[in-house]
Structure 1
Amino acid sequence: MVAVLGSAGRLIRRHWLLSVLVLAGVVLRVLSWFAYQPALLFVDSFRYLGNLGEFNPSGLNPIGYELFVLTPLLAVGGLELVTAVQHVAGVVSAVALSALALRYGVNRWWAAAAAAPLLLDGYQIQIEQLIMSDAWQQVLLVALLWVLLGTGAPSPRRAALAGLLVGMAVMLRLVALALVVPILGYLLIAGGAWRLLRTAPGWRTVGLRIVAFVLACGAVLGGYATYFHAETGKWGLTRTTSQVLYGRAAVIADCDTLELDALLERACPTEPLDDRRRLDDYAHIQREKGFRDRFPPGTDLYQVQREFGWTVIGQQPLDFAWAVTVDFAKGFRPTRVDAPGDVPVSRWQFQREFPNADRELTKDVAQEFSGRDPTTVPGLAAFLRGYQLSVGYMPGPLLAVFGLIALAAALGVGRARTSGVRSAIALALGMALTMLILSAAFEFSWRYQLPALVLLPFAGVLGIRAFRRRPAASVPAGSEWQWQRRTTWLPDR
């Protein structure tokens, strides 16, 4: 025991900055857990909890959160156990991210910086206190980075494990489908295999990785799609795509110039183009009787919304591209504020009183799953809100700087060209960009920016390490740089 404590003490002293950040992150999470009992609840929370045991895949969200998280945890505890485990997972993910950076030769200070956003960002802590799937998708992002990068170029077995993780991530939030693109790109270049594509060994190395990834990911998503078909009679993963596609199209549709058939004309918003409602309102417009009454009885509104969305995008591609670009750029603003038409940022902020989307339903859910009324500790809630709104968030320009450094390093600018970590940087940066762009393609929300806290700082500190690498001749034997060169840049053997 004395030896273990001594080793722990030396580890803490050696990584004192990370230890301080972890302590601060733990304290903030403990305060959050006590401030809002049994858990923070949002509209989506009621949908998740209401679907337990039924596992109906036709709702707004995939059913992975209910299957993988809520069902096993609620079998042994209440909502407070769910949030406690989510907070622990957040801290462990941050430490794992820092450890992976260290493995790639990043110095201890920058490795701690990679973990700081996950540990200290108030929006991250708030989402962990919510009964929502987002925190677990971030856990899977960290797991994917470790599986693909942790021990050099990925073997087919690790590529298959990555495929399983991507499938699970899609079952939590559909936007994770975007991860397929950068991961396939990484499997193509990892370990310098792209240099050997003119040879049989090169094709075998790349081919086995890609096939293993595709088969594993396809097995998970194919199984889920089959279940979706059995329950709904249609092939797919979710019906949400039709709604968010319609929402995106509705706010830009120039109904006076669009060429639409009689049915799609009824889907056009009645408000003038310059006086449209929020995108989020149109995404959920199916719930409004006035919208449903526009169509003949028996009309498949999901199909109408999907066709309307694609028609608008096809006829107004520049308007669509500009809207997506604007929403993508919003995530890099200095402060987290609302722009016209945004989902209110207040949804993801700590409140001084227990937030009640539906007071009676909130009380009923808290009683059903935790046997208590929802409560708030006013002093702790006020402190958390003050922290979150003042210094407790990652500034968007700093995320952009991390991203630009990573981009320059991935492109091989300067010393980064021979650093041996360009493929790892490209993977993390590609995962961030594809997820953020796909999210922006449908709707901007500060909630959807949280994956950037995992990926962009990590990619950025790897980029800094790439630019600061010393020449090979000056690297001492057994250094982390030489380990990196042996295991990550060279092809599998």
Structure 2
Amino acid sequence: MTEPVTAGPSGLSRFWGLIRANKLFTGLLAAGVLLRVAMMVTYYPAFGYFIDTRAYILSAKSWDTDPIWPFGYPFYLWLHEPFQRTSVVALSQHLLGLGMGIVVYALLRRRGLARGWSALATVPILLDARELVVEHHILSDTVFSTLLLLAVVLLLWPRERLPLWVAALSGGFFAAASLTRTIGQVLLAIAIVYLIVRRVGWKQLAAFCVAMAIPLAGYMVWFHHEHGVYAINTYTGRYMWSRTTTFVDCDKVDFTAEERELCPLEPLGQRLGPDSYLWYDDPTDLVRRYKDDNIYKSFATKAILAQPGGYIEVVFADTLHMFQPGWHGPWRTECVHDRWNMPSAGSGDTCSATLMVKPFLPGAEAVAGEPANWQNKTMHAYGTVFTTPGFLFVFMLLFILAAALRRPRKQRGYENLDAVFLATISVALVMMSLALSAIDIRYIMPLLTLAPIALALSIHRFRKPVEA
């Protein structure tokens, strides 16, 4: 007799079964959704009016490459232009934030971590108040974090041999991240070293490099067509120059007459912050003295080689301040820091995030927020409690380093390598950002996904394996 065919569970049944099996993560994801809905309602339509915001929107409308910021984020804005609403951009970025939480959870479950540990690793990206504020800004940070996470996860996802197409796709995402924020270029070398040490094979390494190089080379050709140089931007020299303004003693450096014109007029100890010289707060306007960026790069190179101790001190001091609880910087630095707090009228912040009042148009008009009401007061109160402290990332990275020195049981070599790879990217993101630019707390936002993954993988090495 023929056995009766038993119908399998319906799609809805499988969905509810998945929810029940992952209750903790489902609860965290639901909380993340509610918080983002509250952001959209309380701070409609979006935050903006950085100098970056204006440049991004103009570039998206004109399809011209900007000399400072690459075209990755303007392209993302161009995809939203038919809606003519910055609120749609903010909404899509909030969805990216939720998506990053799902990707982190899925990766850790695939790597055999228990549901509880995997869910806890998503708490920073799903619930961190500063992450919510950054997602609500018309800025490139959320898109950059998403592209970087996808590029990394693709390399970590396969359990054994890395398929060619996965290596190529990861290289493409690394290139896209580099064309969204230029700091991504630093991470390319780290990824290549990781692939070499992991011994993925020369074909996989070649696929990664080719997929990475084609978009970057294509963009450089386009940039050359509009600006006359093969580069991603023409502001790297100015970034480097601004970092030297606080310590350079021009009497001790063999500058040319042209380069000496870039020396700050203020004596040592009375100078402005590097971001003030870079972003037009300097009354002498040195940053616009020359059109040729190479002059600024030459000045910075000579200053760093002549006074390496001063440069190292500046970078490490800002790194310490980035993670130091309760640190307060100069006025402009403090102002930028406060922009990543949940705004509320009467909150006492030196500065606060500003609402965009023009639909998908750059302009000077902005409002610092509506009068105090229960919604923005509640969100502000949430932000004072549920913001990941910077020093927590330091503890995470120290634990990962300590765990990397031990091998508690026989295991695959790359299991330890993966955690070190993520930690190295996290450190490089912070250090290189501060080496080339002024201190800004939003530079650590990608660590909300990368550091918890690395920490979870490190902890997992000391626990019994759990079936995914």
**TM-score bucket of the superposed structures, by smaller chain:** 0.7 to 0.9
Alignment of 1:418 with 2:423, yes or no, is no
2:340/2:353 contact within 8 Å kept: no
Could you tell me how far apart the structure 2 residues matched to 1:17 and 1:111 are? 10
Alignment of 1:80 with 2:74, yes or no, is no
Q: Which runs of 5+ in 2 are unaligned?
A: 1-7
Aligned partner letter, 1:339: G
Alignment of 1:108 with 2:119, yes or no, is no
Aligned to 1:339: 329
SS at match of 1:275: coil
Is 420-429 or 128-137 further displaced after alignment?
420-429
Aligned partner letter, 1:103: R
Q: How does 1:328-407 map to 2 (within 5 A)?
A: 328-334=319-325, 337-340=327-330, 342=333, 344-353=336-345, 362-363=356-357, 365-366=358-359, 368=361, 376=370, 378-389=373-384, 391-407=385-401
SS at match of 1:274: coil
Structure 1 residues 264-296: Cα deviation after superposition (integer angstroms, max 9, x where no partner):
1111111121111111111124x867335996x
Could you tell me how far apart the structure 2 residues matched to 1:321 and 1:293 are? 22
Q: Compute the displacement of 1:256 (Å).
A: 3.0
Aligned to 1:155: 163
Is 250-259 or 117-126 further displaced after alignment?
250-259
Q: Compute the displacement of 1:368 (Å).
A: 4.7
Equivalent position to 2:68, from 43, 60, 63? 60
Aligned partner letter, 1:112: A
2:253/2:303 contact within 8 Å kept: yes
Equivalent position to 1:218, from 213, 222, 230? 213
Q: How does 1:208-287 map to 2 (within 5 A)?
A: 208-285=203-280
Could you tell me how far apart the structure 1 residues matched to 2:105 and 2:461 are? 16
Q: Compute the displacement of 1:248 (Å).
A: 0.4
Q: How does 1:19-98 map to 2 (within 5 A)?
A: 19-43=26-50, 44-67=52-75, 69-98=76-105
Which TM-score applies when normalising by structure 1? 0.84
Aligned partner letter, 1:261: T
Aligned to 2:5: none
Equivalent position to 1:118, from 108, 120, 125? 125
Alignment of 1:133 with 2:140, yes or no, is yes
Change (3 A) 1:347 1:315: same
Q: Compute the displacement of 1:86 (Å).
A: 0.7
Could you tell me how far apart the structure 2 residues matched to 1:56 and 1:176 are? 21
Q: Compute the displacement of 1:23 (Å).
A: 1.6
Is 72-81 or 166-175 further displaced after alignment?
72-81
1:94/1:119 contact within 8 Å kept: yes
Change (3 A) 1:408 1:284: same
Could you tell me how far apart the structure 1 residues matched to 2:31 and 2:288 are? 54
Q: Which runs of 5+ in 1 are unaligned?
A: 194-204, 481-493
Equivalent position to 1:290, from 284, 289, 313? 284
Q: Compute the displacement of 1:333 (Å).
A: 2.5
SS at match of 1:174: coil
Aligned to 1:440: 434
Structure 1 residues 195-234: Cα deviation after superposition (integer angstroms, max 9, x where no partner):
xxxxxxxxxx532222211111111111111111000111
Aligned to 1:11: 18
SS at match of 1:235: coil
Change (3 A) 1:353 1:154: farther
Q: Compute the displacement of 1:405 (Å).
A: 2.2
Could you tell me how far apart the structure 2 residues matched to 1:334 and 1:272 are? 30
Aligned partner letter, 1:352: S
1:267/1:304 contact within 8 Å kept: no
SS at match of 1:300: coil
Could you tell me how far apart the structure 2 residues matched to 1:123 and 1:356 are? 12
Could you tell me how far apart the structure 1 residues matched to 2:392 and 2:223 are? 41
Q: Compute the displacement of 1:89 (Å).
A: 1.0
Q: Compute the displacement of 1:24 (Å).
A: 1.5
Alignment of 1:463 with 2:458, yes or no, is yes
2:343/2:353 contact within 8 Å kept: no
> Aligned residues, how many?
448
Could you tell me how far apart the structure 2 residues matched to 1:149 and 1:293 are? 42
1:338/1:345 contact within 8 Å kept: no
Which TM-score applies when normalising by structure 2? 0.88
Q: What is the aligned-residue RMSD (CA, Å)?
A: 2.8
Could you tell me how far apart the structure 2 residues matched to 1:431 and 1:308 are? 29
Structure 1 residues 299-341: Cα deviation after superposition (integer angstroms, max 9, x where no partner):
4352322211111111111221222122223333345x43347
Could you tell me how far apart the structure 2 residues matched to 1:373 and 1:323 are? 34
Equivalent position to 1:323, from 305, 314, 318? 314
Change (3 A) 1:293 1:366: closer
Change (3 A) 1:29 1:250: same
Change (3 A) 1:417 1:433: farther
Change (3 A) 1:74 1:322: same
1:164/1:220 contact within 8 Å kept: yes
Could you tell me how far apart the structure 2 residues matched to 1:307 and 1:282 are? 17
Q: Compute the displacement of 1:432 (Å).
A: 1.1
Aligned to 1:305: 296
1:163/1:217 contact within 8 Å kept: yes
Change (3 A) 1:105 1:84: same
Structure 1 residues 360-401: Cα deviation after superposition (integer angstroms, max 9, x where no partner):
xx54x33759xx997748332222122112x12112232222
Could you tell me how far apart the structure 1 residues matched to 2:238 and 2:440 are? 16
Change (3 A) 1:288 1:395: closer
